[in-house]
Amino acid sequence: MPRGVPKAGFRRTKNRVKNEVADVVQTMTMVVNETDEEIDAKLTKRFNVLERMTRSACKGDIRALIVSGPAGLGKSYTVEEAIKAYDPDGKRTEIVKGFMRPTGLYKLLYAYRHPGNVLVFDDCDTIFKDADALNLLKAACDTTEDRRICWGAETRMTDDSGTALPWSFTFEGTIVFITNFDFDEGIERGNGFSEHFKALISRAHYIDCGMKSIRDYLIRIRQVVDAGMLDRYDMTDRQKTLCMNYVFDNAPKLRELTLRMVIKVASLIKSDPFGWEDTASITLMRNK
């Protein structure tokens, strides 16, 4: 028999949530002594701060912001919404994803060097593994009055029109980093780049989204779904409930625990209302 539809945004009853989370916590290597309500409040506070800080970065009130947290749980969406509100035409902002060399970074910093410009590096973690790129970023995020960036190599760079770039320039824009990399953990490990990470955090505001356990992930997912994430998929209340129940019930076995996984489950329910669970068990779960 299908489960009934919970009220108030498909929330489960307090006892049901606690029972489900208790089962999931058994798979964790460390149990966090927080109630669901405390985790919910913690995550709400952190994502509210993230939104406010991104707005401040767009206004130029802060020069650099680093946002760290697990993939697929709303970091990028929160930042991108603030960026769109600030620059709907996309003329003063650029969101960079993927691979980037130091030469490309220098050109990009030059192109967005003026006040009011915002560069967002989203999962562009190659720049954190290159000493030359890190040195450029430290100069761009510095707290000094004149943030001068220099390129001392013999190779002369040009912009897209073929015009030669200067050997140095002053950067007056803002930089936002969105990453899955935990800077605090990287510094504690003491690898070859830890001193660079310390210097970068010293120059930037650092937000750890605070999601370390499966329990944190589940409550964050519930927050976003309750806020209306599934509304655009034209699902019935019962289908939305089935989707959330499936994710909660199978959290330890799913290949990943992200908002993307919720969308995958929702798409299966929509496309195959009667056979979706068999398909999900094959395509979405780990084969163990």
| Domains of the chain, start order | 7-32+212-283 (no CATH), 39-208 (3.40.50.300)
Sign of CA dihedral 278, 283, 286, 287: positive
Alpha helices in the chain (DSSP H): 7-10, 14-25, 36-59, 75-86, 102-111, 131-140, 183-189, 194-203, 214-226, 237-249, 259-271, 276-283
C-alpha neighbours within 13 Å on the C-beta side of residue 137: 34
Say what the pLDDT of residue 3 is.
44
pLDDT tens track for 27-85: 343 445 889 999 999 999 999 999 999 999 999 999 999 999 999 999 999 999 999 99
**Residue 117 has what DSSP assignment?**
-
> Do 251 and 11 form a contact (C-beta atoms < 8 A)?
no
pLDDT tens track for 197-231: 999 999 999 999 999 999 999 999 999 999 999 99
- Backbone φ, ψ for residue 158 (5° rounding): -130, 160
pTM of the entire structure?
0.82
